[in-house]
Amino acid sequence: MSGPFKNSPGGEDKDVEAGTSSFTDYEYEDSPFDITTTKNAPVESLRRWRKAALVLNASRRFRYTLDLKREEDKKQMLRKMRAHAQAIRAAHLFKAAASRVNGITSSPPTAGGGDFGIGQEQIVSISRDQNIESLQELGGVKGLSGLLKTNLEKGIHGDDDDISKRKSTFGSNTYPQKKGRSFWRFVWEASQDLTLIILIVAAAASLALGIKTEGIKKGWYDGISIAFAVLLVIVVTATSDYRQSLQFQNLNEEKRNIHLEVTRGGRRVEISIYDIVVGDIIPLNIGDQVPADGVLVAGHSLAVDESSMTGESKIVHKNSTKNPFLMSGCKVADGHGTMLVTGVEVNTEWGLLMASVSEDNGGETPLQVRLNGVATFIGIVGLTVAGVVLFVLVVRYFTGHTKDANGAPQFVGGTTKFDHVLDDLVKIITVAVTIVVVAVPEGLPLAVTLTLAYSMRKMMADKALVRRLSACETMGSATTICSDKTGTLTLNEMTVVECYAGFQKMDPPDSSSKLPPAFTSKLVEGIAHNTTGSVFRSESGEIQVSGSPTERAILNWAIKLGMNFDALRSESSAVHFFPFNSEQKRGGVAVKSPDSTVHVHWKGAAEIVLGSCTHYMDENESLVNMSGEKMAELKNDINDMAARSLRCVAIAFRTLEADKIPTDEEQLSRWVLPDDDLVLLAIVGIKDPCRPGVKNSVLLCQKAGVKVRMVTGDNIQTAKAIALECGILASDSDASEPNLIEGKVFRSYSEEERDRISEEISVMGRSSPNDKLLLVQSLKRRGHVVAVTGDGTNDAPALHEADIGLSMGIQGTEVAKEKSDIIILDDNFESVVKVVRWGRSVYANIQKFIQFQLTVNVAALVINVVAAISSGDVPLTAVQLLWVNLIMDTLGALALATEPPTDHLMDRAPVGRREPLITNIMWRNLLVQAMYQVTVLLVLNFRGISILHLKSHLNPERVKNTVIFNAFVICQIFNEFNARKPDELNIFQGVLRNHLFVGIICITVVLQVVIVEFLGTFASTIKLEWEMWLVSIGIGSISWPLAVIGKCIPVPETPVSQYFRINRWRRNSSG
């Protein structure tokens, strides 16, 4: 259907629940609840919406929001602890200097270590005070390792007995955590609701007055009934909140549980950070978090960011002689090395910090803020209605228009006793306060945390760990995903499948017989030293290769060529490293042989390394000049391999005079490896196949209105080939600028030009992390909600800048993970798409709950107001309204906010960040159901006795009110099914898969039968005959066909809320 109207079951398949996602030009009012993102939001904005919210129970409402005061207190505490640590260190340095002047030597305590040559107190003192003199007295790192029974090359033995002894002597790498809130704390917080407190007071007054006026046998009914209903609400609410809290605790534990490699028994093994022990040898690379206190064994260009401990953004260069101490919690900014662990748990400064700072559940989410706005608006309406009802009932009571069960006026001036008047007034106030309980949706904002807790737990099974709550829902609004290639779109299972060496193609690529010994010797020497990986050969001869996928592929290839990894590394020594980084796209090492010959080996992106080569070594071991013709031929070979989606890596070297290498350690750390005049040895093509199913995932995203862009450091031809294979590029005709672009071209444009072409970019090859950041910024300026994947340290700015940062769980560095919002545990693009589904599911589930809750709100309020004004009585009593509130609030949220995502969610456009929460379709469904319920129940209220033929009944009024209550609750049970599918005709699809929904429906039905049939005294009901049950069920069941008819009513595309905003803007403009 074209034009301003649409039907939800048919017609155009747009964002039916959330409206359209296009970026509108409407003017928005300056609402404190209008916060599109809480990521890096100003504190003033967060403080502003809190002040504007109408809150009855602050401790519960703000439980999962950022505690602004505690956040400031935490920062101050960290500053104090850092200052304290620095003061201790400064005092020690001053003392050491004074001792040197006076010729006095001091050493730390020398307590024995039981099974070890050094005790915990002594080693902790050395690490904490960074006492280099004491370390040297022990014989340096080598002497310390001997005392700790650690082999600096092979690590500790690592058997159970060895680990147990180390833990008992030096402690384990855990720190005491503050206990989570107990169940009774949640009960206490749930009871802090102002309206529930008033009801408890009213129940106590009603109990006292009832016993005084009617005696102990009957007088306790009303008071105890209200008190029991309030208690039930508190217990159910607390139970739900407590379960959520446990889920968040488990997720926080997962976030802290970092996995890393250590060297034990001569091989690298992956363990949890909690399993690290003193004496462990740990390799450190760029982006790693230092997992415990320790000393540097060996390192090359190792630089550490100690800002997390010192508070100063200063990169500190480490070396094994002058500054070897490493502090737990710091990040490796550059270089690589190995460390010896000297302190764990609270014996480290990081452990002390973590023990003193409780885990935070993250800040509030945008949806939470907006729901607080909705709850505030509804609450104001509810308070107004309750005030009107209270006023009308009190006036009618004192004017004699309120009748008792016998039809006589309840109040007669000068006749009615004061106790009776007080009892009647307490009942009137109780009804008014209960209306407030129902009207103010205190649980509405908390429904977000309920669905997020459920979603986050389920997302763990889908290989996604949510670090920041808001990211889960923001993912539902994502309009573009900037994805890495390697490991995300591809399998990350790399193999060398093609090789050019000595200017000839080797077939097969690992045929060592085709290469002369001297050629092979230089090639494997460079591979063995210029790597961050390692090779372990067991006694049985089994070979285990570790490192990144690219490193493993090249090491495995070199092993087939005859490389003896350990022998090569022991025969010659690495003098200086230039670690591989994504900016330079290459890495190098200077290696000194026993005969003092120095070779500088380089390895990296083929065309970049090739550009620095002036010679190549041929099959006769002769150095041949690299002519322009030869260079062009090799570039064609590289392009040919890249076009077949191979990653091309070049390996080259050059000889260097030994006297050109600085001898001073400080000068050596600043020395730049020469990268000119290189001799090309080999170019290898590494195959990394596309992940199966990734093409379908990309097509699913495109169908859902989410554009997938590949941003990779690989060759532009490799990127193009993979993009075609994945479906990011539809055909070769799409592979032209700006659709396919190189990073250096994109960064050369001005900001305006980048903004203009960023929309069209599908693939960016040979990009640097800064190019990725520029692309993210351009897309955000264009109004996009951007999700970005990243794994390297240099990706951190882009992950931070993006609306949703997605780091890789396997290949990602700790720096990247810390800056991200969600960790993709299996590095798989399909898991990214599942996160999009879950994000949309969060939004859709909240909308289902809002529709259901507002229907109950509107119906309950209208029925009680109309009845109170017209007859002076309300058909729904306080206890009944509290039961309705329980169905509507806690049980409704559990049933609807935990719906699993469906494929239907991916058939619509992304949810616009400024789209109204209550869409036109929801208004239509809500009004249809509420009008039906109000009409039927008011008819029963005024004509029920005659319609239901109750005149002959002993207590017709009570039967009528019970039928109204019963029909009202059953209407909500039937309408809960309608709320599952606000825009679909088949409301039963997948219902049996949601066991929680089915369980809650069954529990609600059973409890309703119990309340009506067995708790009449408490709930002011009476046992109903089967005919009245059929009438109640019949009234409720009509809501199903009514919902089908309602969904065929067209609704305008422009949200209703926009009309009010536009009119307000026009009035303000004309004023």
User: What does the mean pLDDT of the chain come to?
Assistant: 82
Q: Using one digit for the tens of pLDDT, what is the confidence trace for 1054-1071?
A: 777 666 554 544 455 444
Share of the chain above pLDDT 70, in %: 84
- pLDDT at residue number 1040: 94
- pLDDT at residue number 6: 39
- pLDDT at residue number 1012: 93
- Three-state SS string over 445-487 comes to HHHHHHHHHHHHHHHHHCCEEECCHHHHHHHHHCCEEEECCCC
The full DSSP string for 135-177 is HHHTTHHHHHHHHTT-BTTTBB---HHHHHHHHHHH--S----
What average pLDDT does range 1022-1049 have in this prediction?
Answer: 93
Minimum mean pLDDT range among 170-174, 369-373, 801-805:
369-373
Q: d(Cα 537, Cα 860) in Å, to the nearest integer?
A: 75
What average pLDDT does range 183-195 have in this prediction?
Answer: 82
Which residues, in sequence order, are CB contacts of 669 under 8 Å at separation 6+?
301, 317, 319
> Does position 788 have pLDDT exceeding 60, yes or no?
yes
Share of the chain above pLDDT 90, in %: 30
- pLDDT at residue number 87: 63
Q: d(Cα 539, Cα 730) in Å, to the nearest integer?
A: 52
Q: Using one digit for the tens of pLDDT, what is the confidence trace for 47-59?
A: 776 676 766 666 6
Which residues, in sequence order, are CB contacts of 746 under 8 Å at separation 6+?
754, 757, 761, 764, 767, 771, 774, 775
Which one has a higher pLDDT value, 1035 or 218?
1035
Task: Answer for the pair 690, 726: CB distance below 8 angstroms, yes or no.
Answer: yes
Q: Provide the pLDDT confidence category of residue 347 given band limits of 50, 70 and 90.
A: low
- Three-state SS string over 915-927 comes to CCCCCHHHHHHHH
Which one has a higher pLDDT value, 113 or 344?
344
Length of the chain, in residues = 1071
**What predicted TM-score, i.e. pTM, was given to this entire model?**
0.78
Angstrom distances, CA of residue 344 to CA of 25, 78, 911:
56, 19, 46
Name residue 767's amino acid.
S
Task: Answer for the pair 960, 967: CB distance below 8 angstroms, yes or no.
Answer: no
Which one has a higher pLDDT value, 1037 or 300?
1037
Report for 602-616, 663-677, 813-827: range of highest mean pLDDT:
602-616
Q: Provide the pLDDT confidence category of residue 64 given band limits of 50, 70 and 90.
A: low
- pLDDT at residue number 298: 87
> Strand 763-765 and strand 740-742: pairing?
parallel
> Does position 398 have pLDDT exceeding 90, yes or no?
no
Which one has a higher pLDDT value, 248 or 744?
744
Percent composition of the chain: helix, strand, coil (DSSP 3-state, to 5): 55, 15, 30
- pLDDT at residue number 411: 78
> Does position 195 have pLDDT exceeding 80, yes or no?
no
Q: Using one digit for the tens of pLDDT, what is the confidence trace for 748-757?
A: 999 999 999 9
> Does position 39 have pLDDT exceeding 70, yes or no?
no
φ, ψ (nearest 5 deg) of residue 735: -85, 65
Q: How far is CA 492 from the centre of its chain?
A: 24
Q: Which residues partner with 331 through β-bridges?
A: 289, 305
What average pLDDT does range 406-418 have in this prediction?
Answer: 77
* 339 closest CA partner among 385, 379, 386, 282: 282
The enclosing H or E element of 552 equals helix 549-560
For residue 32, is the peptide bond before it cis, meaning its omega torsion is within 30 degrees of 0? no
Which residues, in sequence order, are CB contacts of 1038 under 8 Å at separation 6+?
932
Please report, to the nearest 10 degrees, the dihedral formed by the alpha carbons of residues 768, 774, 780, 782 taken in order. -120
Angstrom distances, CA of residue 849 to CA of 231, 578, 779:
24, 57, 33
Q: Using one digit for the tens of pLDDT, what is the confidence trace for 289-323?
A: 888 889 999 887 788 888 766 656 678 888 877 88
What average pLDDT does range 646-671 have in this prediction?
Answer: 87
Report for 160-164, 396-400, 413-417: range of highest mean pLDDT:
160-164
DSSP one-letter code for 16: T
Minimum mean pLDDT range among 213-217, 264-268, 369-373, 808-812:
213-217
Has 889 been annotated as catalytic?
no
Please report, to the nearest 10 degrees, the dihedral formed by the alpha carbons of residues 387, 392, 397, 398 taken in order. 90
Q: Using one digit for the tens of pLDDT, what is the confidence trace for 684-742?
A: 999 998 988 899 999 999 999 999 999 998 889 999 999 999 999 988 888 888 899 99
Task: Answer for the pair 537, 552: CB distance below 8 angstroms, yes or no.
Answer: no
Report for 36-45, 468-477, 989-998: range of highest mean pLDDT:
989-998
Quickly count: other Cβ atoms within 10 Å of residue 671's Cβ: 17
> Does position 242 have pLDDT exceeding 50, yes or no?
yes
Q: Which residues partner with 604 through β-bridges?
A: 586, 650
What average pLDDT does range 823-852 have in this prediction?
Answer: 89
- pLDDT at residue number 443: 64
- pLDDT at residue number 1071: 47
- pLDDT at residue number 29: 45
CA atoms within 13 A on the CB side of 950: 23
Minimum mean pLDDT range among 536-540, 593-597, 600-604, 1064-1068:
1064-1068
> Does position 976 have pLDDT exceeding 90, yes or no?
yes
Q: How far is CA 811 from the centre of its chain?
A: 18
> Does position 170 have pLDDT exceeding 60, yes or no?
yes
Q: Provide the pLDDT confidence category of residue 10 given band limits of 50, 70 and 90.
A: very low
- pLDDT at residue number 403: 74
Q: Using one digit for the tens of pLDDT, what is the confidence trace for 927-975?
A: 999 999 999 999 998 888 899 988 888 888 889 999 999 999 999 999 9
Considering Cα of 13, then 18, then 24, then 26, what sign does the dihedral take? positive
Residue tagged active-site, from 193, 222, 305, 484: 484
Q: d(Cα 348, Cα 343) in Å, to the nearest integer?
A: 6
> Does position 93 have pLDDT exceeding 60, yes or no?
no
Report for 23-32, 354-363, 465-474, 738-747: range of highest mean pLDDT:
738-747
- pLDDT at residue number 633: 93
Minimum mean pLDDT range among 30-34, 106-110, 525-529:
106-110
Q: How many helices (H) and strands (E) in the chain?
A: 40, 28
Q: d(Cα 392, Cα 868) in Å, to the nearest integer?
A: 7
- pLDDT at residue number 237: 79
Minimum mean pLDDT range among 272-286, 423-437, 761-775:
423-437
* 814 closest CA partner among 789, 788, 793: 793
Q: d(Cα 213, Cα 207) in Å, to the nearest integer?
A: 10
